[in-house]
């Protein structure tokens, strides 16, 4: 993630646990609004594309990304 988002580390966080996700969603509930975007595996086909991760934004919080189906660039094995 640092290769892609490292230059924005002060503006973006990567959610890696249920607790972090819970805290972020709790902040959204308090604000009453959340922005959601999705990143796919570069496919535009809604049937066959794979969700790589949602991006979330809550006012006064860092933008958040939740990696789901990322692979090691060398081994091509999906990260846990």
Structure tokens belonging to residue 65 = 């990304």
pTM: 0.76
In a domain, 78, yes or no: no
Mean pLDDT of 46-67: 91
pLDDT 10s digits, 12-21: 898 989 999 9
Residue 40 is part of which domain span?
Answer: 2-65
CB 27 within 8 A of CB 61: yes
Instruction: Provide the pLDDT for residue 64.
Output: 94
48 has pLDDT over 70: yes
In a domain, 73, yes or no: no
How far is residue 44 CA from its own chain's centroid? Answer: 18
1 has pLDDT over 60: no
Residues making up the chain, counted from first to last: 80
In a domain, 42, yes or no: yes
Instruction: Provide the pLDDT for residue 5.
Output: 63
CB 67 within 8 A of CB 46: no
Distance CA 62, CA 15 (A): 11
End-to-end CA distance of the chain: 14
In a domain, 72, yes or no: no
Instruction: Provide the pLDDT for residue 74.
Output: 85
In a domain, 74, yes or no: no
Q: Count the domains in the chain.
A: 1
In a domain, 55, yes or no: yes
In a domain, 33, yes or no: yes
């Amino acid at each position: 993630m640092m290769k892609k988002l490292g230059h924005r580390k002060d503006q973006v966080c990567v959610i890696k646990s249920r607790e972090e996700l819970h805290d972020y969603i709790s902040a959204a509930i308090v604000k009453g609004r959340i922005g959601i975007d999705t990143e796919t595996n570069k496919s535009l086909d809604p049937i066959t594309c794979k969700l790589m991760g949602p991006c979330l934004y809550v006012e006064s919080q860092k933008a958040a990304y939740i990696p789901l189906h990322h692979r090691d660039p060398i081994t091509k094995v999906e990260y846990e």
